[in-house]
Structure 1
Amino acid sequence: MRIFLFLVLLLVSSDLMAQGLAEQIRKAHGDWSDVKFVEFTWTAQARGMSRTYVWDRTTGRVKATIGDTTVDIPATGAGLKETNEIEAHKAFINDSYWLLFEQFIFRDDVELVEGAGKIPGQESESKWLEVRYSSGGYTPGDTYRLYVNDKGVVFGWAYFPGGQKEPRFYMTREALQTQAGITFPTDFKQDSKTVIKLENVKIR
């Protein structure tokens, strides 16, 4: 019985530590609850591919421009039937994570785990918050590990598709900007080389 109670207390303590770190991250990056408008262009450098979004959070609508096509879709993806609209929404969800991942931490289908260890490819260590999406969305089971400094700012992340043991990639999050009280990265690097850029960002 004592062992069982100890394990329960250990799990509760671990959960509280993870929640505490998540709150620290949210405070460091700003509160999106008052944000009404977001515009940004997501660019994959190597592929020369860009996608632009204009998101009106008051109406819940997103104008997604991919190539020469612009579609108007609900941010939630509710009721979409046309293939091009569904694909645009998938792209919007994926690309939004790069800009505002911190806002996707607090969801019912998310499991948070706090820890510390070596940063991938480096000898230095850091505390981290692991964000596990157990269900829902287009890629259930995906896991992200956010590497956090002492101020709660996420300086790098690793991606584990489907919850696999080894990460598909680790990238640093650089060139931070702040608009309307929201702090976000605009440059994502792998092995010191820019892979993803967020451009023409407007938040208000």
Structure 2
Amino acid sequence: MKNYILIACALVILQSCKTDKTEHQNMEPSAIPEKTPAQKIAAAYGVHNWHEVDTLEFAFNVKQDSTIFTRFWQWLPKKDKVRLISQNDTIHYNRNNIDSLALNADKAFINDKFWLLAPFNLVWDTGTTISEPQKELAPISQQMRHKITITYSNEGGYTPGDAYDIYYNNNFLIEEWVYRKANAPAPTMTTTWENNTEFKGVLLALNHKKPNQNWELFFTNVAVK
């Protein structure tokens, strides 16, 4: 009797799984939720390949006139281990256990990583609101582009309340963005998104420039493993 009950339960479970699968296969295409613009942007940059990344290395550089500032990072995202190499020091830490010595390094890491992986942060970050898409003149090119705005909540994080206006093309690739500190109406910084380069299925924009200024933020020594 006990074996009969177990077999009967197994048949019920298998039938249930089969039914769920069949129902999903028979769904009308219109019943499958369409991806949001944020999800489409993340997909265009290869977020679906991120699970294969064990190590990300990059040098974060800012050039102002003839001066260049550089920080080098190594990040193991699955373990959340970080190594910073700067002109002054080398720091190792785990983002799951940040002490006072690692706090400033982590603030820099979040900033630098955000510039590199902003398309993924559109779907990774919590505590955000993302506007409905609209078409506007991009501030640098003065061409009509799609635009969404991501706004961070006033609680948590190192820079709460910030907003980013993201201008992207029909292929869901970012061409420009506007950073507005604390969601201020006026732009804090406006830059291009240039030099999209693929690293093992992950697309990264390596260059960002301000209009009419001798300023550039760029990445070198990038490795995705």
Q: TM-score range by the shorter chain?
A: 0.7 to 0.9
Contact 2:39–2:122, Cα closer than 8 Å, also in 1: no
Contact 1:187–1:194, Cα closer than 8 Å, also in 2: no
Query: What's the offset of the Cα at 1:194?
Result: 4.5
TM-score by length of 1: 0.84
Secondary structure at 1:105's aligned position in 2?
helix
Secondary structure at 2:135's aligned position in 1?
strand
Distance 1:58 1:125 in 2: 39
Secondary structure at 1:162's aligned position in 2?
helix
Match of 1:13 in 2: none
Shift in CA distance, 122/73, structure 1 to aligned 2, threshold 3 Å: same
Q: Which runs of 5+ in 2 are unaligned?
A: 1-32
- In the TM superposition, structure 1's runs of 4+ consecutive aligned residues that sit over 3 Å from their partners are none
Amino acid of the structure 2 residue aligned with 1:24: K
Q: How does 1:1-16 map to 2 (within 5 A)?
A: none
Query: What's the offset of the Cα at 1:116?
Result: 2.1
Q: Does 1:96 align with 2:113?
A: yes
Q: 2:218 aligns with which of 181, 194, 197?
A: 197
Secondary structure at 2:165's aligned position in 1?
strand
Q: How does 1:44-193 map to 2 (within 5 A)?
A: 44-46=62-64, 47-74=67-94, 76=95, 78-83=96-101, 85-106=102-123, 107-113=125-131, 114-134=133-153, 135-191=155-211, 193=214
TM-align CA RMSD: 1.8
Distance 2:201 2:207 in 1: 19
Match of 1:5 in 2: none
Q: Which runs of 5+ in 1 are unaligned?
A: 1-15
Query: What's the offset of the Cα at 1:168?
Result: 0.9
Q: Does 1:26 align with 2:42?
A: yes
Query: What's the offset of the Cα at 1:58?
Result: 3.1
Secondary structure at 2:98's aligned position in 1?
coil
Amino acid of the structure 1 residue aligned with 2:220: E
Amino acid of the structure 2 residue aligned with 1:130: T
Distance 1:100 1:158 in 2: 16
Match of 1:10 in 2: none
Taking every aligned residue pair, what percent have the same amino acid on both sides?
24
Distance 1:88 1:63 in 2: 9
